[in-house]
A and B are shown apart, each in its own frame.
Chain A
Amino acid sequence: MNGIYLDNAATSPVHPEVIKVMQKSLEEVYGNPSSIHQYGRKARQTLDNARKVAASSIGANEKNITFTSGGTEADNLALIGTALANQDKGKHIITTTIEHHAILHAAESLEKQDFTVTYLQVQSNGQINVQDLKDALTDETIVVSVMMVNNETGIIQPIKEIGEILKGHQAYFHTDAVQAYGLLDIDVDKLGVDLLTVSSHKVNGPKGVGFLYINENVKISSLQHGGQQERKKRPGTENVTGIIGFQKAIELAQAERDDRNLAYNTYKQLFLKKLESEKVSFSINGDLENAIPSIVNISFPGTNVEQLLTNFDLSGISASSGSACTAGSVEPSHVLSAMYGSSNDRTINSIRFSFGLPNSEDEVTEAATRVASIINRLIK
């Protein structure tokens, strides 16, 4: 059966125009941006252009953009880099129980180095309670990391409110904006954010590239050591071709943002309507009103994730569930556990569908039809 890709939050297909500029750059821009000859200068020029585009997409200064190998590296640099550089001011970190493992496991590694981490619980709607954050803040808190949009549920966190709370506090504010970027309006100053993570391959750019916005006031240690690249915050010869592709992906995302929001929202509504009209028993995890258009996380009572995902794949539907797998089998989602409790069946019977550029209205309707027939067969 023809494949329907509803896992755009895992990674997204590279936009044809991105491929075009990358191919051109591979052919023409092969210099090392650090070299002091014309080839180097040309590479440096393209790199700086990309940096400008990345910066302006979040209302930042280009000097504050550090390109990385992707979201995971940016998250690690943000959390560990600031923790190590500011431990004289305190060793307390605040994050949430629903962060991506790039943050959660980085935080755990800091706990092993005698940092104290407070993991904020979320409410059953998927959002943190900002009062909890206020209560958790101490004079020792040096960094707060709260993701902008959760990757499993699509739930948007109150980033601006958190930014307000942290105004005047020594703690830096980091947000992982990997799932938000390209769909939400992001301005680092308006949001009061000091550090912000973005990944290229979630917005139809190539894999292996991302950036971390680092406000100039942030004291941060680099996690790797080498040359002078990226203002020494991220040494290593830059992934010029990847960054050029990323730039194109950003430009397209900026230009098409409203259209994409509209289209993904339509897909989501169509998908849910079709499930309803096929009399599928389901419920949505988190509040639809607080969710990004591209992601919907659905619980199908009476089923289990492994059975669902395998059946979906065998009928051509690509979707996913909780992030972590061991030996290929799916662990209960830590995000849904945080929202509903670890013994709730939602943690083992929920699927994330995420919409994106390759989809069409016909396609998502067809996908919902196939999903419905599988669910209705399984729970009959």
Chain B
Amino acid sequence: MEARIKTVPPVLKAVAPLMEDGHSHESISRAVSDVVLEMPMPRPWYATISVGLILLSILGISTAILFWEGLGLWGINNPVGWGFAIVNLVWWIGIGHAGTLISAILLLFNQDWRTAINRFAEAMTLFAVMCAGIFPLLHVGRPWAIFFILPYPNTMALWPQFRSPLLWDVFAISTYFTVSLLFWYTGLIPDLATLRDRMPKGIARSIYGFFALGWRGSARHWFRYEMAYILLGGMSAPLVVSVHTIVSFDFAVSVIPGWHTTIFPPYFVAGAIYSGFAMVLTIMIPAREWFGMKDFITLRHLDNMAKVMLATGLVVCYGYGCELFFAWYSGSDYERTMMWYRGFESPFAWVYLCLLLCNLVTPQFLWIKWMRITPIPLFIISIIVNIGMWLERFVIVVTSLRRDYLPSSWGTYTPTIFDWAAYIGSIGLFLTMMCLFVKFLPMISIFELRLQHHLMKRGEIR
């Protein structure tokens, strides 16, 4: 910890302090842990988890029918072999990226404002990756044989095919999930101990105690913790870039016009962070309201996250520009035609226009300071960006496939009720997991807030 506070960050003209005044270590601990220990859950929480559970059961039922009947229930077809499942996969994986960026990269860059949001964002990462992870299983034709994709020893002496980006995905995403889980859990240990200590005797206390791994807050514990955390942060940092790069290879490695594009890796990573921050805002703005966390998640945080969104949004827009420019500049009829149909002619032109509206126009409002620090407009923008990023993946997946090389094989794609069920079902899974998370775990890192409070009192940070 000492290592991190040596340098005082440059004095910025911040919109708000990192934490509102009038807090002590005690009040911080109580404010955060009482959500778990004492506070009755606010009404919106019940509403949210109800919606989440309903959507989750839709996912369960539709998946059961899907497994029984076959993939034909979805709208996918001959030219368009991938539909909502891959759109959702890429979207959820992208959303996860904000958490990793906040917890790992901002940690390494010593950004103090990560303190109040990293726990929440990391949880979001995990749940988003879980949501993403169900889609590969749903989307294969023979889910009962999906283990073929793993490099397991077998009597046929068969390996998976290492040249396939789908296989790289398996490694990338499983690594991502594992590291994110470890990172998140490591960061939780001191707080789990706090909860254990504050909890009356009982089964719950034993469970917290079990997961707290005997944390007593000794200097040695802290030393080991710091070491582990910074190491895991170091391991996570490259994942921010690598995972979505590899996901983008699913497309970039192919020969399909609209997919076969070298801009894809950076463009996907930027898009991932863009949508990830949007999602963090989408869930954090109501959460800070409902659970009384406005003192810890201040307008400063909102402002900073909005700035990251603006920056990554601009990179994404640059990506759109590149796609358009290179489609034209390539001189290839396939590319030009694909871009023309995508943007201007096909029945999906409105999707592309919506996407530009959501992702290109909307973030420009974030140049206005008022927009960045006023929760409601920011919330609306974050929702729009989430929609926009989903549309972007839809445009990439569907409009590229539907009209490629041979016009005789052109087709179209119409999502069915089962496509929608899987999509909103995954949102249900996400909402449910988030609700359970705030119910059972401290949504903000208590010990880090205490440290932050300490440093603020000493004037080292503001």
* Binding between chains A and B: no
Binding site for A on B (CB under 8 A): none
